[in-house]
Amino acid sequence: MQITLKVNGQARSIDADPDMPLLWALRDFLGLKGAKYGCGIAACGACTVQVNGRAMRSCVVPLKSVANAEIRSIEGLGGQHPVQQAWLEDQVPQCGYCQTGQIMQAVALLEQNPNPTREEIRAGMEGVLCRCGTYPRIEAAVRRAADAMTARKGS
């Protein structure tokens, strides 16, 4: 079935099973490899993308449910997003496999709550697992990004 997706501001049409999770449309049909497969049951968050601004686990989101939605993957951040810059400043990733999901979760968190407390950062990032144990740096980088984005808005 022909399905049109709006990904990173562009309409992209693919011929796919409407029950197929969004993750596989991004990875196998659209060549966007940033979102990762980790569990297939929305338990690890490696596949996190934004759907209409909300962080969603793309491994369980069927295509038919996002046909008219605004989908943003890490490729849509442009590489210079304050969250990505903070991730480099704090040298967050180790293996890096979960980090695109972490970054997309952080972007959604900061769009909803530009100045989160430490507890809010932790609660907001809880759904994305990191096996390498980069949590202390994730927390620091979200704080750094929040400060940078607030400063930018204020200036």
Partner 1 sequence: MLTRREFVLGSGALAVAVSVPLRSDAAVEAGVGERFVTAYLEIAADGRVTLHSPTTEMGQGTHTGHAVIIADELGVDLERVGVVTAEPADPFRRNGQMGSGGSWGVRYWYQPLRKASAQAREVLIAAAAAQWSVPAAECVLEHGEVVHAKSQRRAGIGSLAAAAAALPLPAEPALRPKSELRYTGRKVPRVDLAPKVRGEPVFASDVERPGMVYACAVLSPVFGGELERFERDSVDPVPGVLDVVAVPGGAAVVATHTWAAMRGAEALKIRFKPTAHEALDSAAISRQMRAALDPEVAAIEARRDGDWAAVAKAAKRVVSADYEVPYLSHAPMEPWNCIVEIGGDGVVHIWAPVQTQDRNRTAAAAAAGVPPEKVRLHTTLLGGGFGRRLGSDGIAAAVVTARAVNKPVKFFWRREEEFGQGWYRPAQVARMEAALDAEGRVTGLRVRTAGPALSASFSPQGLPAGQLDGSSVQTIRESRYKPSAFLVEWARVDQPVPMAPWRSVGATQNGYFLESFVDEVARAANRDPYELRRELLSHDPRALKVIETAAKAADWGQPLPAGRARGMAFVESYGSLCAEVAEVSLRDGKPVVHRVVCALDCGSIVLADGVRSQVEGGIVQGLSATMEEAVRIAQGRAADRNFDTYPLLRITQSPERIETIIIESGETMGGVGEPPLPPIAPAVVNALVALTGKPIRDLPLSKHRFA
Q: Where are the beta strands (DSSP E) in 20-76?
A: 48-51, 54-57, 70-72
The site that binds partner 1 (CB under 8 A) totals a number of residues, namely 56
Cα distance between residue 86 and residue 66, in whole Å: 30
Nearest to 20 by CA among 64, 71, 85: 64
Site for partner 1 in 2-61 (CB under 8 A): 17, 20-21, 24, 27-29, 31, 33-41, 43-44, 46
Q: What is the DSSP string of 30-43?
A: S----S--S-SSSS
Stretch that binds partner 1, among 2-10, 50-58, 97-105, 144-152 (CB under 8 A): 97-105
Q: How far is CA 149 from CA 61, 86, 126, 136, in A?
A: 29, 10, 22, 20
Site for partner 1 in 66-95 (CB under 8 A): 73-75, 77, 79, 84, 87-88, 91-95
Q: Which is nearer to partner 1, 25 or 69 (CB)?
A: 25
Q: List interacting residues with partner 1 (CB under 8 A).
A: 17, 20-21, 24, 27-29, 31, 33-41, 43-44, 46, 73-75, 77, 79, 84, 87-88, 91-100, 103, 122-123, 125-139
